[in-house]
Amino acid sequence: MAFTAKDVMALRERTGAGVMDCKKALTDADGDMSKAADLLRERGIAKAEKKASRIAAEGIVICYVDGKTGVLLEVNCESDFVAKNPRFTEIANDIAKVIIKNEPANVEALLTCTMDDGLTVEDFLKSQIAVIGEKIAVRRYTVYKTEGFLASYIHLGGKLGVMLDVAGEATEAAKAVAHEVTLQIAFTKPAYLSESEVSADVIEKEKEVLKQQAINEGKPEAIAEKMVLGRIKKFYEENCLLNQPFIKDDKQTVAGLLKAAGNVQLNRFVFYIMGEGLEKKSEDLSEEVAKQVAAAKQ
């Protein structure tokens, strides 16, 4: 059965695959649109599986909130070019919706969950790899359910994401100060919300390090021990969100900022730095694009 250029474009619109891939699929399927679509999916999945060993060290962090439930999610790909594609953000949002609906315990369980179209998340990702042409991997996510409200901040188009759980009613004043706190978290990257979250083991280890630092500076041991007390205070100021100086006015702490806004209370927070700890490919984007162009000409 013959097919036209319009058929090729219709198949491309339907599947999101490349023009040459659509043309070949229609040729192999004797012009049958449905068979061609199936062929593309089959070839796409096979192609996706070949990419399984490739490093996905780019990507985005998104925050998706539905009512009083929110998800902070990191999804990785292979190039910054793909990470900036609006379709890639849509994929991440679709996965976040599945997380909220199914509440999987971890990424492995998430991959077995079913999308609205009946595909598992794993098969959905494979189908999208066929469209985008790069490995896509869900790296991690955190789910918050709150009795208060959630605030979020995404920095630099998904390079860093923050989700904040705030107690109480979402008044305009509370939402405004919550936004300021998400910016604070993105900028300072605190390890704890308050001093009470820091374990005794962490403090003891920190005291040992600080004491040795003072001794190495030539201070007698008795003086070194007294110096530790002041330096521990500095440790709390650097690592505990509520103790930190507010980045827009260092004359007040974050705790003071919250008090001034009507005693707003924070429950918890989480932030992700995209790609933190992942190995990245050495080739740059221009080299990658050149390779793809050369491959297309063969």
Amino acid at 128: Q
Same domain, 21 and 108: no
Same domain, 279 and 144: yes
Same domain, 166 and 73: yes
Please report which confidence band the pLDDT of residue 49 belongs to, taking 50, 70 and 90 as the band edges. Answer: very low
Contact yes or no for 62/158 (Cβ under 8 A): yes
Residue 167 domain-assigned (yes or no): yes
Same domain, 62 and 179: yes
Please report which confidence band the pLDDT of residue 71 belongs to, taking 50, 70 and 90 as the band edges. Answer: very high
Residue 166 domain-assigned (yes or no): yes
Residue 144 domain-assigned (yes or no): yes
Last residue within a domain, chosen from 28, 50, 72: 50
Same domain, 171 and 282: yes
Same domain, 111 and 36: no
Q: Which long-range contacts (CB under 8 A, 24 or more apart) does 109-115 make?
A: 110/138, 110/141, 111/138
Residue 245 domain-assigned (yes or no): no
- Say which CATH number the domain at 75 has: 3.30.479.20
Residue 214 domain-assigned (yes or no): no
- Say which CATH number the domain at 28 has: 1.10.8.10
Q: 83-141 pLDDT, tens per residue?
A: 999 999 999 999 999 999 999 999 999 999 999 999 999 999 999 988 888 889 999 99
Same domain, 142 and 282: yes
Q: 189-206 pLDDT, tens per residue?
A: 999 999 999 999 999 988
Residue 76 domain-assigned (yes or no): yes
Same domain, 128 and 276: yes
Residue 64 domain-assigned (yes or no): yes
Which pair of structure tokens corresponds to residue 67? Answer: 């009512």
The CA–CA distances, whole Å, from 32 to 5, 23, 29, 111 equal 14, 11, 5, 32
Please report which confidence band the pLDDT of residue 41 belongs to, taking 50, 70 and 90 as the band edges. Answer: low
Contact yes or no for 163/155 (Cβ under 8 A): no
Same domain, 76 and 165: yes
The lowest-confidence range among 22-26, 112-116, 121-125, 279-283 is 279-283
pLDDT of residue 143: 98
Q: 116-127 pLDDT, tens per residue?
A: 999 999 999 999
Q: Which residue has the tokens 């705790």?
A: 255
Same domain, 141 and 179: yes
Same domain, 151 and 275: yes
Which pair of structure tokens corresponds to residue 125? Answer: 């990702």
Q: In which domain, by residue range, is 20 found?
A: 5-50
Residue 244 domain-assigned (yes or no): no
- If one counts the domains in the chain, the total is 2
pLDDT of residue 5: 84
Last residue within a domain, chosen from 50, 68, 84: 50
Same domain, 81 and 161: yes
Distance (Å, whole) CA 89 – CA 140: 15
Whether 266 has a pLDDT exceeding 90, the answer reads yes
Q: In what order do the strands lie in the sheet with 149-155?
A: 149-155, 160-166, 266-273
3-state secondary structure (DSSP) of residue 193: coil
Question: Once rounded to an integer, what is the mean pLDDT over residues 63-81?
Answer: 96
